[in-house]
Structure 1
């Protein structure tokens, strides 16, 4: 397993999202129960859209672990910023294309029978779903 996969697991045993509700799960070859290390209460942060002015390039990136396991917040932000800066702001497909670009960055290129991303790091072997949600529509009152 790669380090990024180990970091996404609780006590190197189970993926966090798959451990919610598995109350009897123990760390492999031990008597340590996983449940005390998991919570069904998500961390929630509220961002009041209507209090801020947002432009066409201000987006929320919603992605599955296939994206976040291999790309950092900074790498994603730089990729989206660069991509959107090179698109016509009136192009209604720009957010979809930027999301597709992130998927391709996370998957990488096939090189010597493995998927590689920048810096010759392993690409994601997981499912990758990405949505870019423009924030500028939060400025309007309906």
Structure 2
């Protein structure tokens, strides 16, 4: 039986995996993972950023150099797309049409491969969103 710390580490690893698998999906799957009232591109990136930070802190030492290199390449690309000067990348239309998002998916697929994870979509409904009018 796992103790509390092991349970937390397993949960951290699972959520990080799901965030990468979400980034690796086709556009239609990515768009279906989130409710229509959120900025889906932002949600994908924010989920990854939070999960990577937690994973790196809790389990980062367990990564091989190949795994770390693949995650770093994805991280570097997403960071290069960030900032006010790059707001054009953070729309549903950009997710569908922009080559930067195709590269995000390719880099995420590489992470999936080197980590030995399934390339299936992550389970839906992993987050709670507050919509317009304060309803989830």
**TM-score calculated relative to the size of structure 1:** 0.26
**TM-score calculated relative to the size of structure 2:** 0.27
* Structure having the larger proportion of residues in strand: 1
Higher Cα Rg: structure 1 or 2?
1
* Structure having the larger proportion of residues in helix: 2
Ranked by relative contact order (alpha carbons within 8 Å, sequence separation 6 or more), the top structure is: 2
